[in-house]
Copies of this chain bind each other. A is one copy, B any other.
Amino acid sequence: MMEEEYLSVYKCLGDITRLRILHLLQREPLCVCHIQDVLGEPQPKVSKQLAYLKRHAMIESMRHANWTIYRLPSEPGTFLSQNLKCLESLVFHESVFQEDLKRLKRVDTSAACLS
């Protein structure tokens, strides 16, 4: 039997790398290499956490040529949405996430996979 949605969500939110990823994806869909660049974390680590999030239905992915684009679900459950709102207002202003945003802007313009 499947685990309750809310437990999955909380487990997903209990890791800083996953939080950083969700924070980025809340801004826009991104491919792995962009996330990797922004986070400054090794590629396998990023891929694994993306897989973890997808396994728990927190994100979706679509292959686009050589790249895999990840994004928040088209219809995110109420519970997930609520928690993202909560994060937005109480957590995402912290420096870790704001630094990520700065790097995202820089990386985003020179994007090869955004064709």
User: Interface on A for B, CB 8 Å cutoff?
Assistant: 4, 6-7, 10-11, 13-16, 19, 78-79, 82-83, 86-87, 90-91, 94
CB contact between A4 and one of B11, B16, B86 (< 8 Å): that residue: B16
- Chain A at the B interface: SS class: helix
The verdict on A7 contacting B11 (CB below 8 Å), with A79-B91, A83-B86, A90-B82 known, is: no
Residues in chain B near residue A87, CB distance under 8 A: 6
What are the 3 A-B residue pairs with the smallest beta carbon separation, nearest first? A10-B14, A10-B13, A11-B14
Q: In whole Å, how far is A11's beta carbon from the nearest beta carbon of chain B? A: 4
Most chain B CB atoms below 10 A, which of A11, A14, A79: A14
